[in-house]
Structure 1
């Protein structure tokens, strides 16, 4: 019989270690200044571009390719905006939950579980929706991809919109070499030790059984997965930064990235994209002021240990402060110069 995602996930019982940054910047217990010290000591593992919109600018290793993690979702959101405007997609079209969940391998550290909760979809097993025949809108999927980094939603969008649409959006956003990988494909490569065609996996019960059989041997620890995450999709802080600055041309994408985030007086919206993998933290922030000014920052860091990764909210706070406080970019400049 054809194995369903429910069968696969119930059989493996595995929880992934792909960490996600918070859906909104928040104060953190660790001192952001401690991140400045880490940045100072690890300049060769940092790529950053920042423009606060008031003349404060920073570029450190802007064209060095580093792992992107789920920060790549900004491309998917721009592609969605482009497809809707071009009549190739309808925000209200219904998507069967099972057709979305077929891309879910269970290695996103709970992002899919949070997506189900956000859409009020009951999940008794905590892995998949109880009713695979329930439907959500395409815009619902974009929302959980933007706010929770749900890998399955991103992969559904990738296949629904088409890789060509995503690449066109990336080009229009100034990021012509943006990667648009299948996230499921990357995790399958970890499980199987080789690259496989994702569409073949989705249709091949024998390959699905092989995945189930190999899952117990997948490294579960942070340190154990770091060698793999070094091989995941890479690009540059400069490319991500250019797309962030171009998001005024993708209003639906911008609305999803800004949803639910408020800022101090004078700020009209704060957009966030980012993600984490063992050893990797990535983030893109965009602050839009009511007077029309825009500040943007793209920061990619790698070779981050487990403890440091746990203080990711402090890095978000630090970067956001650099966009909001006119004096703050200088602190970054001193650390990275």
Structure 2
């Protein structure tokens, strides 16, 4: 039986009613004080609470990248230009590519695709149940792993929603197949990346069978892995062979996670700000699928997790037109800390939300990273 890989499925956010513009503006003054000697000692490190996360960040500054920004004004920045693994937060690139294609009339919002074509890129046991959860939400009957009827059709926009909401891993690779690498590369440039990111399936195949996918180094590894992903998608016998393989243990998973696609926090923030501002417009509707709390015009987010890796990107739009963004990237977490965070209801996410909407929290975050 395949050993499951723990990954983070996107969860709803809870925001207190707050003016994002006012909070970000006040936080700018608070964060500037972090360079002085006025910062108090950080709390004790505890990955199970938002307050304890301040202490955890203070002890792991070299493994963390943070951006909190209001428009073009930096509120908190730490290692903002250093690329770090982003797990499923990378899917915002695929979202931007799809939304651009929609804006250009290719493909239409109501285009439909076969579920079987979507599932060609699906590797069971590597998504934390995201694909099955997406099928449930879309009303597609399944056997607990795949759709019962691969000929059933869904709107392509619903596949995109599965990529954003449940964090389905097959969806971005279907989009890559439909839109082409050039479209992905153009979208990736908005996050400061050079070229299209590798396939999600290929990235996971490097974990499942490293000698067969990505055995070489660097860009060659991505090319090998993408070729392996194409063989998996095109050959049912090859897919069955791969699905029978066991995933390696936790230590190997952590080592592999460090080699997955990396993005600078500043680049991720730039792309999310553009999408939150409606460029292109279809992306914002997908990211802001959850109704905003009172006092905000919009709330968008996309996060992700791999063993030892956490990533969050959140935007809030104030009713006066101010847009703020927060990005938190963490790598190299000890297994016990990583599991504790996921089991405790994502307190790192709560901390980032607090920094976006509360001046005192933003100031404390800046102090923890000073």
TM-score, with length taken from structure 2 = 0.81
Farther off after superposition, 49-58 or 327-336: 49-58
- Distance in structure 2 (CA, Å) of the matches to 1:206 and 1:238: 42
1:23 correspondence with 2:54? no
Q: Distance in 1 between matches of 2:8 and 2:273?
A: 23
Aligned with residue 316 of structure 2, among 272, 276, 287:
287
Tell me by how many angstroms 1:53 deviates. Answer: 5.1
Q: Which residue of 2 aligns with 1:10?
A: none
Question: Is it true that 1:117 corresponds to 2:136 in the alignment?
Answer: yes
Is 1:250 aligned to residue 314 of structure 2?
no
Structure 1 residues 33-112: aligned runs within 5 Å:
33-52=51-70, 57-106=75-124, 107-112=126-131
Match of 1:3 in 2: none
Task: Report the CA distance between 1:307 and its aligned residue.
Answer: 3.4
Give the SS at the match of 1:311: helix
- CA–CA distance in structure 2, aligned partners of residues 30 and 230 of structure 1: 23
Report the Cα distance in structure 2 between the residues aligned to 1:314 and 1:96, rounded to whole angstroms. Answer: 38
Q: Distance in 2 between matches of 1:291 and 1:55?
A: 16
Q: 1:15 to 1:291 in 2, by over 3 A?
A: farther
After TM superposition, the structure 1 = structure 2 runs for residues 175-194 of structure 1, keeping only pairs within 5 Å, are 175-177=192-194, 180-193=197-210, 194=212
Specify the alignment match of 2:261 in structure 1.
233
Aligned length: 318
Q: Tell me, yes or no, if structure 1 residue 323 matches structure 2 residue 356.
A: yes
1:179-212 deviations in whole A, cap 9, x for unaligned? 5220000111111113241222323355335424
- CA distances 1:11-58 after superposition (whole Å, capped 9, x unpaired): xx535324115422249x932011111100000000111114596611
**Cα shift at 1:277:** 0.2
Which stretch has the larger CA shift, 224-233 or 173-182? 173-182
The 3 A distance-change label for structure 1 pair 234 and 270 is same
Question: CA offsets, 1:249-275, max 9 Å, x none?
Answer: 122111111112422x32111111110
1:278 equivalent to 2:307? Answer yes
- Contact kept, 8 Å, 2:302 with 2:313, in 1: the verdict is yes
Q: Does 1:203 align with 2:221?
A: no
Change (3 A) 1:88 1:15: farther
Q: What RMSD over aligned residues (CA atoms) do the two structures have, in Å? A: 2.0
The whole-number CA distance in structure 2 between the counterparts of 1:118 and 1:111 is 11
Contact 2:109 2:157 in 1 (8 A): yes
CA distance in 1, matches of 2:171, 2:360: 39
